Amino acid sequence: MLTGLVVGKFCPLHRGHEALIAFAAARCDRLVILSYTNPDLGYPTAQRAAWLEALFPQAVRLVLGDAVLADFARRTGTPARTLPHNNAPAAQHRAFTFWVCHTILGMSIDRVFTSESYGDGFAAALSRYQSEAAGAEHQVEHLSFDPGRRLNPVSGTALRQGEDGGLSFFSPVVRSSLVRRIGIIGGESSGKTTLARTLADRLGTIWVPEYGRELWERRAGNLRFADMVDIAIEQSAREQAALPIAHRWLPCDTTPLVTAFYSEAMFGSIDPALSALARRPYDLLVVCAPDFAFVQDGTRQDDAFRQRQHDWYLQELDRTGTPYVLMEGDVETRCSRLVSHELPLLAQAV
C-alpha cells in the first residue's frame, strides 16, 4: 500500500490546499493529512478537523494541538511532547513529522506532496529517519504540485490578513464556518429590521429577514402555539442557508429568543424545544433600545408592550449570562458604532 502525506497549518483551509490534497489522494493508496500550528493563528484544532473531515472523509486525518499530544502521552506512557513553533528550524519540524507518523500513526510514508521549495529536503529527511527506524532503506518520493500557485493564486497569510476577494478561495463548508452571525433583537418598532438591512448594505453582505413576521402577515395574525417552534426552526434554517453566500458577516433580523418572548406573551408558555433554540449562540448579539418614537404599522401593539419586550430580553440575557451590546441612537449612529468598534473587536477576538 502506497502511503502519501500532506502537511499544513490550514489556517484557514483554502482551495489551494484542497487542490494539493486532491492531487495527492489520486497518487497514493492511502493519504495522511497532518495539520498543526504553534502559535494558534485563529483557527482552532476542532474547526480545522471538521473541515478536513467534511471534505476528505477517506483520508487519515490528524489535527494536532498540545492537548492532543498530552492525551496521547497519558494513554501510552510515552514522553510528553509539544508542537514545534512555526518559526522553528526545518529540521525540528521534519523530526516532529516523522515522530507523529511513526509513533502516533504507526505508518511509514512513501510520498510527500507539497507546493513548496522545501519538498525535496523534507522527503530526504523522512527517508533518512524511516530508513534508520526500519534498519533498511526506505526512500520517500516528493511530488510537487503547482509550485508557482498559478491554479490557485492564494496563501493562508493573505487570507488571514483579509485581502479582498479572499472568500472566493474557500469551499462552501469552510466559508460557512468563517461567516460571523450578528443577531439583532429588540422590541416592536425599535429599528432592528432597518439596522439589519442597513448594516448588510454597509458591509457588502446579505441579511436574514424575520420569518415570524412573514408568517404572521401570511396568516393574518392567526398563529398557533405549535407555530412558535416551527418559526424558530425556520429562522435558524434560513440563517444556515445564507452562510455560504454571505460576505464575512451575516446580520440576522430576530433570533429564536424573540420567538420565545411572543410564545410566552401570546400563549403563556414556551415549548422546551423553543427554549433550547432561544439559547442558539451568535457571534455578536445586538439589542436595539426603544429610544425613539414608537411607529404603529397596523400589526404592532403599543409603546408599553415594546418596553415590556425590551425588559424581558435584558432579563433573559442577564439570567443566562449571554453577552450582548445595547445599541442606542438613530440607525446611522448604531450602524457606525457596529462597523467602527464592535465588529473590529469581534474580528480580532476570532
Rounded to a whole number, what is the distance in angstroms from the first to the last CA of the chain?
A: 41
Q: Please calculate the CA angle 229-234-236 and round it to the nearest 5 degrees.
A: 95
Give the CA distances from residue 210 to residues 10, 153, 281, 292, in Å, rounded to whole numbers and listed in that order: 36, 39, 17, 21
316 by Cβ neighbours in 10 Å (0-12 / 13-18 / 19+) ranks as middle
* pTM recorded for the entire structure: 0.79
Confidence band (pLDDT; 50, 70, 90) for 162?
A: low
pLDDT for res 164: 45
- 72: closest CA among 29, 48, 105? 105
Residue 154 binned pLDDT confidence (cut-offs 50, 70, 90): confident
Per-residue pLDDT tens for 46-94?
999 999 999 999 999 999 999 999 999 999 999 989 999 999 999 999 9
pLDDT in tens, 197-250: 999 999 999 999 999 999 998 998 899 999 999 999 999 999 999 998 898 899
**Vertex 269: Cα angle to 266 and 271 (nearest 5):** 115
Residue 69: in which H helix or E strand, if any? helix 66-76
217 C-beta neighbours (distance < 10 Å), count: 10
Q: Grid coordinates 436595539 are at which residue?
A: 288
Q: Mapping DSSP to helix (H, G, I), strand (E, B) and coil, where does residue 251 land?
A: strand
Q: Which domains does the chain have, with CATH numbers?
A: 3-169 (3.40.50.620), 179-349 (3.40.50.300)
